Structure 1
Amino acid sequence: MHGKRRAFIKTGSGPAVLLLHGLACDRTTWDRVIPLLAEKYTVIAPDLLGHGLSDKPRADYTLGGYANGMRDLLTVLGIDKVTVVGHSFGGGVALQFAYQFPERTQRLMLVSSGGLGREVTPLIKLIQAPGWEQTMSVLTLPGVRHLEARALRTLASHGGPLRRYTRDLEEVACIVESWADRRTRFAIRHLVRAVIDWRGQIVTMADRAYLTETMPMAVVWGRDDRVLPVRHASNAAALAPGATVTVLEDSGHFPHRDHPEELARLLDEFVSTTAPSVYSRSRFRRLLRNGSTAKAPLVSVETA
């Protein structure tokens, strides 16, 4: 599309579900969930531009640019409306997609999502630091990179009391390996600059959360998330009227990796028990004119 290669998986049949991965990951982060969902749904899982097997050009790496890319991909695939599921940075893209294209968004599920608060791990902020590119070019040299990845995977495999701190290191190892590609590092750095500064996340849904009034929303978080704090799930509950928030125990920043069956069950339950959003231009206009209201949302919060 637009002269750039976009990699994606499309499998299964039934209502369409769009899975959006997080920063520096790719579609393979959903590998444990896709087969479960494909039994009942048409699943589309792309590599976002700058990630995985998609091209990594000098391009627009803003949330709006990614949302436009997802609209175009769905149009090429002949899919008009979807339930959008976004993890981490992909959650921010999902929120932006729902805001820009409410007529094409049936429901929204956010998994350990960006865009719900300022805080973020300092390790992501460091990507903007002077010398990061030069440091990564050394740390991702073949011999060094392989030792790092092996050490991270060894730590990830250990149980015990430190498990809550090390469970996500398997995914971190995959990220380190992907950064061997200079073009990937370039894309990730430009992406981070678009959404994060030294104080944390720049873009949040706080000022536009009221626009989700007519859209079913579910939020899933891992209790031991060390990238985006679990308290952001409470922010979602306060900002989005009618949101259902589930916090998964024994899970970190990647609930879909830690508990794929449970995430698939939650998504299926969410889709099965909610009516898809129906876009109304007049209602959207009214919401924009009236702005946010002081009415307290009805929120269901549960722990699984």
Structure 2
Amino acid sequence: MAFADVDGVRLFYTDDGGSDSVLLLVHGWGSDSHEWTHHIPALRERHRVIAVDLRGHGYSTSRDTGNTPRRMAADLAELLAGLGTGPVVAVGHSMGGQVVSHLAVEHPDSVRALVTVDPGYGFTGAVASAFPGMVEALRGGDTSAVAVDIDQWSYTPATPAWLRESHRRRTLATPPHVLVEAFEAMFAVPGAIGVRPNSDGYLARRPCPVLTFWFDPDQAAWESGLFKDPRSRAVVWEGSGHRLHEERPAEFLLVVNKWLKALAGARA
């Protein structure tokens, strides 16, 4: 394990495997890199795997302000530069999907491909309309309890109890000011890419191939229309919960490794 000092925060990360193929694993809101526990052992057999706790999450520290997905992406660009990785495949779940998309747009030399897992962008309709009220609730009450309540949408009746409890505890361990600032930056500030139409033009700027996983076929179809690289692909797992990569880790790894193998063949 290791820590890196970046922009006044101390980031925790692990760095496993020795391949020239580098994967960067990025967790979601109120979570940490333990989210990838079921994936790292298999991935490091084929790749160098870097899993990081974003600022204000897990073992990483935070600042009083600046705990936003865009700043988190800048942290990752600085971390990767310090590690000398070259371009990576950046894998992001939920808020992590926003973070790696910011990384691809704002720091394109850091990224050769993206994998996004039920990413936190492109919402519309009633869901998008509810975000300002969620921010108000986070600011006005017991932030940790409100965040745990917001997270309940992530699950289905088939979600295992251990997964629910694991993320409840991680959310409770996240500093309240980080939960508020990160959520608001994702969904409720001007230009936030968590909602349409802000997301459309921004995500269309990602030049690299993208593999995206959704449980909602409408969201998958929408994002497919924004792909720039013909090797991009949208996968739909209807009936899954928001944390589909943790609910179905073996199948997730199978799809990701097959896609990465195809990318490597296309470069040969």
What residue number does 2:200 align with? 206
Q: Which of 240, 252, 257 pairs up with 2:241?
A: 252
**1:5 equivalenced with 2:3 (yes/no):** no
Does the 8 Å CA contact 1:168/1:254 hold for their aligned counterparts? no
Shift of 1:266: 1.5
One-letter code aligned to 1:13: G
Percent identity, aligned pairs only?
A: 23
Choose which of 188, 197, 210 in structure 2 pairs with 1:197: 188
- Taking structure 1 as reference, are residues 191 and 198 closer, same or farther at Cα in structure 2, changes over 3 Å only? closer
In the other structure, the counterpart of 2:224 is 237
C-alpha distance in 2, partners of 1:215/1:59? Answer: 31
Secondary structure in 1 matching 2:10 = coil
TM-score (norm 2): 0.80
- Distance apart, 1:122 and its partner CA: 8.3
1:109 is the counterpart of 2:101: no
- 5 Å-filtered alignment, 1:34-49, equals 34-49=40-55
- Amino acid of the structure 2 residue aligned with 1:221: W
TM-score by structure 1 length? 0.71
Residue equivalent to 1:266: 255
- Structure 1 residues 69 and 133 mapped into 2: Cα distance closer, same or farther (>3 Å)? same
8 Å CA contact retained: 1:107, 1:215:
yes
* Kept after mapping to 2: 8 A contact 1:86/1:110: yes
- Residue 186 of structure 1 and its aligned partner are, at CA, apart by 1.2
Whether 1:62 and 2:49 are equivalent positions in the alignment is no
**Length, aligned pairs only:** 251
Distance 1:210 1:202, change over 3 A: closer
Q: Please tell me whether the aligned partners of residues 13 and 50 of structure 2 are also in contact (alpha carbons under 8 angstroms).
A: yes
Match for residue 216 of structure 1?
Answer: 209
Question: Does 2:105 correspond to 1:99?
Answer: yes
Q: 1:164 aligns with which of 156, 164, 178?
A: 156
Q: Is the 8 A contact 2:11 2:61 kept in 1?
A: yes
RMSD: 3.3
* Distance of 1:175 and 1:124 partners within structure 2: 21
Question: Would you say the 8 A contact 1:178–1:184 is kept in 2?
Answer: no
Cα deviation, residue 102, structure 1:
1.4
CA distance in 1, matches of 2:180, 2:129: 14
Distance 1:172 1:197, change over 3 A: farther
Report deviation, 1:123: 8.2
When Rg is computed on C-alpha atoms for both structures, the one with the higher figure is: 1
Q: Deviations over 1:182-232 (max 9, x none)?
A: x611101011111213999347431134433x521111123xxxxxx4421
Unpaired segments ≥5 residues, structure 1: 157-162, 223-228, 279-304
The CA deviation at 1:86 is 0.9
Aligned to 2:85: 79
- Give CA-to-partner distance per residue, 1:57-99, whole Å, 9 cap, x none: 2131223211110011112222121011111110011111000
Q: How far is 1:13 from its partner?
A: 2.1
Aligned match of 1:186 in 177, 183, 196?
Answer: 177
CA distance in structure 1 between the aligned counterparts of 2:32 and 2:129, rounded to whole angstroms:
22
